[in-house]
Amino acid sequence: MRIATWNVNSVNARLETVLRWFETERPDVACLQEIKCVDEKFPAEAFERLGYNVAVHGQKTYNGVAILSRTPLEDVVCGLPGDETDDQARYIEAVVSGQKPVRVASIYLPNGNPLGTEKFDYKLAWMERLHRHAADLLRQEEPLALMGDYNVIPGPLDAANPGEWTGDALFQPESRAALRALLWLGLTDAWTEAGEGPGGYTFWDYQAGAWPRNNGIRIDHGLLSPQAADRLTGCRIDRAPRGWDKPSDHTPLIVELAP
């Protein structure tokens, strides 16, 4: 089973690029972030024609997440539990059916910039909610993949130029500590576990020639429960779409699990 995560930075604005990738890669499951549309405006029919079942948690203009699967999706949850007042569409979860079902979440964690504002406080509070929910899910002792744009650079080796990020919410000690706390629950970072080393970037800014200079960062992650990590056979980053016309500033991360 190949489970991908990709922040597409507006699914409708980049639909041709996104569909090209799906037709080429044909993942079993794909978690999309920053779709930037309400549910009704998500181009579901285009993906259904490719054989995908679709679950969407959208929002006008901003945020929005989706899960696409070749097999039916069950037990769909829209929104991260823990704060009924939070109306930002940043989390969707579902069980991917099959002989060996896997629970999958598509996560678009808050950016948190600028520092010293309520946006950074919201980021940390959201991560604490994710921590509580992940702990609840892990108690079910089932295969689980928490996929998404975490907006956190785990460490200096995950940035081409870490010094450029010291004043950014993505690289603050509090953000990195919150990500480590998730891992300490018993989750596994698929990229690290697969033995992939430095240079595995998933994001390159549109500005200052970041892509041609490979000035990237790793902020898109696949975190696996022990039951899913036991089935991990590989993890790779598909850099190709970042070099296509009208690309997202992110590129797909693909986690591979044994049947």
Which of 57, 133, 149, 221 is labelled catalytic?
Answer: 149
**Do residues 63 and 36 touch, judged by C-beta distance below 8 A?**
yes
Q: Which two tokens stand for residue 218?
A: 């790793």
CA atoms within 13 A on the CB side of 191: 25
Which of 52, 91, 108, 150 is labelled catalytic?
Answer: 108
Tell me: is residue 230 an annotated ligand-binding position: no
Tell me: is residue 7 an annotated ligand-binding position: yes
Q: Across the chain, how many H-helices and E-strands are there?
A: 6, 12
Tell me: is residue 161 an annotated ligand-binding position: no
Question: Which residue from 77, 67, 75, 76 is spatially nearest to 33, judged by alpha carbons?
Answer: 67
Known catalytic residue: 108? yes
Known catalytic residue: 57? no
Tell me: is residue 113 an annotated ligand-binding position: no
Tell me: is residue 249 an annotated ligand-binding position: yes
Question: What whole-number distance in Å separates Cα of residue 87 and Cα of residue 92?
Answer: 13
Q: Which two tokens stand for residue 244?
A: 């296509």
Tell me: is residue 34 an annotated ligand-binding position: yes
Which of 57, 133, 221, 250 is labelled catalytic?
Answer: 250
Known catalytic residue: 250? yes
Catalytic residues: 108, 149, 250
Q: Which residues are annotated as a binding site?
A: 7, 34, 149, 151, 249-250
Q: Which residues are annotated as a binding site for Mg(2+)?
A: 7, 34, 149, 151, 249-250
